[in-house]
């Protein structure tokens, strides 16, 4: 049984390593920091009538593309790892006209013109010192606000609709876009903020698939897997699977006694160290990406560890039964001992009673321990394939985080009912799907600092969460915002939990407030296809 278990793990590792091998091959080509030619293709639903492009001014390294909202294009970037990023400029857009901005690397010249098909426009960024790309000449230095291109890719004779660009004049200078980014991202469904029954897989956390921002410290399991179908933290539909295991428990757990676990902090640390693999796939038309991550989770302190719960041990001691020994034994010719049917039946009955009694003891233990103080740290690198093909996997940055829970031990009135959780997380170089722009991504760094107060019991709770988040697109200033949420969590059936969250978010610098209401279900399964209980 132990061997088959290890074989299962090896098989999982092979499955996980295959795409990672593809990743390694993809990355082996290496990259240069020097600017390179990057093209952004815009495929419009119909002929790009009324499409205009112009460059930002006063050091604004963005190129703006304006088009009728009814003819929204899809965009694709030739090199997703370039610093070129696309986003919708909310403040410049309205019901009739939409403006996209394309942030490009300094040292390149943007050129905008028709593409290969009648409905395609192409924006090309060429290194300024490049002589091999002869798209067009650079703008005259004397013009501080040059029109790099104002091509109206219309059929012959068609009248452009954009008045700023139809007569060859320089479009009105766009106002300096505020560094506040991600408005559109935030317009989408934001984060839920509640605990779920399935412990957060570290790999899911870094992939943005734990609905809550403030990650609750949880106990690792020897081997577990979890499924998730839902909305990620950017509002995109995702489906994913995570495989979690504790390597020490798999390879040495069969010899780890309860006494050793309690007395050796080093053994306890390794026994509770969890590794996880997760993959997710975008489930919407606008996000076909596949993401993968490897997570490592370390429990530094856990006052709710049931292994150290003396009352739980007392309960086991009191309620577990042992049947009487066989009255007599006899050896078969082959030297074996066979229990009588009556003895075996008695053992089966007591075994079943012990299983039920153990669960009752643990249920009592969960009441005592659900909100105890604990502290975890975790980190996880991630990879992404924006196209959904394994050959396109590339490094997607990583995340490191810590959560500290305080259970008000010794505080009357709060000790059994309340918990405070503090969470800090840094996410580096994440590739984020551009809202409303199919197939496009931008890179983002994020710092999250949050706290959550929970009041309830092991089966239901209410929580209040506040999160300060500091995000920035690569190469741009940080953008600060905060979010407050109120949530309810309720166990509606064994192993199935329902969550609902209400909240609001503030954006800076305009102070816009946005509200959200989220509901979610979550469940998990084990290798035996049984559901897990909360707080395990």
Partner 1 sequence: MPVNNAILRSAGSLPKIEIIVGFAHFAKFEFFIYDQAGQNPVKFAEGVNSDDVPDIFEIGTGGTVAALDKRTIFWQAAIASPTGAPGENYSVIIRVMQDGQIVGTDSKTGPMTNPLPYGFIRLAVE
Residue ranges in contact with partner 1 by CB under 8 A: 1-2, 5, 219, 221-224, 249, 253-261, 271, 306-307, 309, 312-313, 316-317, 320-323, 325-331, 335-339, 347-348, 350-351, 354-355, 358-359, 361-362, 365, 525-528, 530-533, 536
Distance CA 88, CA 13 (A): 40
Task: Kindly report the backbone phi and psi dihedral angles of residue 326, in degrees, each rounded to the nearest multiple of 5, phi listed first.
Answer: -60, 140
Q: Which is nearer to partner 1, 487 or 524 (CB)?
A: 524
CB of 237 to partner 1, least distance (A): 28
Distance CA 377, CA 45 (A): 48
Q: Is 117 left (phi over 0), alpha (psi -120 to 50) or beta?
A: beta
Distance CA 407, CA 57 (A): 54
Distance CA 304, CA 314 (A): 16
Q: DSSP letter at 434?
A: P
Task: Decide: helix, strand or coil at residue 528.
Answer: coil
CB of 201 to partner 1, least distance (A): 14
Q: Which is nearer to partner 1, 175 or 351 (CB)?
A: 351
CB of 223 to partner 1, least distance (A): 6
Distance CA 304, CA 311 (A): 12
Q: Which is nearer to partner 1, 359 or 389 (CB)?
A: 359
| CB-count burial class (<10 Å; 0-12, 13-18, 19+) for 478 | middle
Q: DSSP letter at 320?
A: -
CB of 327 to partner 1, least distance (A): 7
CB of 529 to partner 1, least distance (A): 8
Q: Which is nearer to partner 1, 309 or 430 (CB)?
A: 309
CB of 520 to partner 1, least distance (A): 21
Buried b (16+ CB within 10 A) or exposed e, 74-94: bbbbeebebbbbbbbbbebbe
Q: Nearest CA to 205 among 378, 17, 432?
A: 378
CB of 340 to partner 1, least distance (A): 12
Distance CA 426, CA 294 (A): 16
CB of 369 to partner 1, least distance (A): 10
Task: Kindly report the backbone phi and psi dihedral angles of residue 308, in degrees, each rounded to the nearest multiple of 5, phi listed first.
Answer: -105, 15
Q: Which is nearer to partner 1, 325 or 515 (CB)?
A: 325
CB of 336 to partner 1, least distance (A): 5
Q: Which is nearer to partner 1, 241 or 462 (CB)?
A: 241
Distance CA 139, CA 485 (A): 50
Q: Which is nearer to partner 1, 319 or 417 (CB)?
A: 319
Q: Which is nearer to partner 1, 7 or 34 (CB)?
A: 7
Q: Which is nearer to partner 1, 246 or 290 (CB)?
A: 246
């Amino acid at each position: 049984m132990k061997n088959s278990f290890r074989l299962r793990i090896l098989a999982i590792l092979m499955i996980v390593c295959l795409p990672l091998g593809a990743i390694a091959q993809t990355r082996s080509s290496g990259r240069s920091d020097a600017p390179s030619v990057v093209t952004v293709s815009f495929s419009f639903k119909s002929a790009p009538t009324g499409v205009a492009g112009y460059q930002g001014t006063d050091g604004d390294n963005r190129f703006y593309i304006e088009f009728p909202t009814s003819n929204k294009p899809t965009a694709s970037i030739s090199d997703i790892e370039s610093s070129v990023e696309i986003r919708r400029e909310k403040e410049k857009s309205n019901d009739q006209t939409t403006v996209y901005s394309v942030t490009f690397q300094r040292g390149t010249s943007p050129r905008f013109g028709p593409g290969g098909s009648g409905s395609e426009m192409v924006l090309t960024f060429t290194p300024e010192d490049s002589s091999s790309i002869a798209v067009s000449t650079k703008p005259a230095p004397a013009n501080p606000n040059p029109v790099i291109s104002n091509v109206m890719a219309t059929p012959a004779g068609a009248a452009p609709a954009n008045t700023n660009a139809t007569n060859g004049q320089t479009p009105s200078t766009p106002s300096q876009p505020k560094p506040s980014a991600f408005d559109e991202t935030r317009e989408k469904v934001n984060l839920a903020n509640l605990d779920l029954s399935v412990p957060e897989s570290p790999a899911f956390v870094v992939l943005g698939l734990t609905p809550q921002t403030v990650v609750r410290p949880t106990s690792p399991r020897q081997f577990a897997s979890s499924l998730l179908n839902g909305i990620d933290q950017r509002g995109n539909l995702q489906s994913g699977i995570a495989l979690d295991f504790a390597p020490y428990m798999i390879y040495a757990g069969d010899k780890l006694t309860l006494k050793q676990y309690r007395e050796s902090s080093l053994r306890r640390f390794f026994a509770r160290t969890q590794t996880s693999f997760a993959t997710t796939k975008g489930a919407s038309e606008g996000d076909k990406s596949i993401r993968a991550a490897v997570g490592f989770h370390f429990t530094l302190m856990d006052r709710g560890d049931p292994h150290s719960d003396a009352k739980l041990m007392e309960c086991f001691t009191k309620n577990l039964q042992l049947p009487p020994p066989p009255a007599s034994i006899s050896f078969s010719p082959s030297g074996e001992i066979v229990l009588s049917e009556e003895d075996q039946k008695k053992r089966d009955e007591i075994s079943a009673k012990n299983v039920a009694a153990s669960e009752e003891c643990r249920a009592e233990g969960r009441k005592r321990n659900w909100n105890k103080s604990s502290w975890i740290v975790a980190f996880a690198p991630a990879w992404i394939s924006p196209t959904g093909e394994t050959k396109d996997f590339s490094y997607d940055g990583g995340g490191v985080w810590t959560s500290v829970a305080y259970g008000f031990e010794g505080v009357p009135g709060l000790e059994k009912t309340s918990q405070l959780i503090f969470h800090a997380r840094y996410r580096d170089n994440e590739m984020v799907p551009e809202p409303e722009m199919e197939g496009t991504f931008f890179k983002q760094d994020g710092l999250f600092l949050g706290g959550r107060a929970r009041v309830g019991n092991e089966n239901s709770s209410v929580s209040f969460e506040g999160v300060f988040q500091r995000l920035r697109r690569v190469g741009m200033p940080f953008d600060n915002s905060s979010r407050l949420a109120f949530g309810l969590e309720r166990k509606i059936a064994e192993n199935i939990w329902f969550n609902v969250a209400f909240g609001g978010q503030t954006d800076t610098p305009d102070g816009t407030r946005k509200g959200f209401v989220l509901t979610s279900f979550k469940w998990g399964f084990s290798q035996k296809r049984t559901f897990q209980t909360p707080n395990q």
